């Protein structure tokens, strides 16, 4: 059996791998996750249309393809729907304003605390850079 200190991250919150998700939290998570992904993909489609409209020469096609490949990798990495990663995923999405706290209503307070903490960490890291 692991000691309590091993199950806590340095912020004092339960480790994401130790969190269990209730049926209702799973439903809320799936809905918020899918909505955020849909919004981001819609935004990317608009960007791709704008870029495509500016294509003047064949090499511009490959620039668009490279851009889309890079964005797909970023999106695939960001939207990881494993329960052990969801608090970090939602923390990032909250930081990026791709999901609102309202959409996460129904999560337990420990999950919300961890999500907010990670969003704050990302904001502080970004501000220091």
* pLDDT tens profile 39-61: 999 999 999 999 999 999 999 99
Residue environment code for 59-92, b if the CB has 16+ CB neighbours within 10 A, otherwise e: eeeeeeeeeeeebeeeeeebbeeeeeebbbbbbb
pTM value? Answer: 0.83
Res. 12: pLDDT tops 50: no
Q: How confident is the model at residue 19 (pLDDT cuts 50, 70, 90)?
A: confident
Task: Tell how far CA 102 is from the center of its chain.
Answer: 16
Distance (Å, whole) CA 63 – CA 23: 44
Res. 78: pLDDT tops 60: yes
């Amino acid at each position: 059996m692991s000691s309590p200190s091993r199950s806590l991250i340095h912020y004092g919150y339960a480790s994401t791998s130790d969190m269990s998700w209730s049926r209702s939290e799973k439903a809320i998570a799936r809905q918020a996750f899918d909505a955020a992904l849909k919004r981001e993909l819609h935004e990317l489609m608009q960007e791709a249309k704008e870029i495509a409209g500016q294509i003047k020469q064949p090499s511009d096609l490959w620039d668009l393809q490279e851009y889309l490949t890079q964005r797909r990798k970023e999106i695939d990495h960001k939207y990881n729907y494993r329960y052990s990663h969801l608090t970090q995923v939602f923390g990032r999405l909250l930081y990026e304003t791709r999901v609102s706290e309202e959409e996460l209503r129904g999560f337990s307070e420990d999950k919300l605390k961890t999500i907010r903490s990670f969003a704050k960490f990302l904001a502080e890291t970004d501000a220091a850079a």
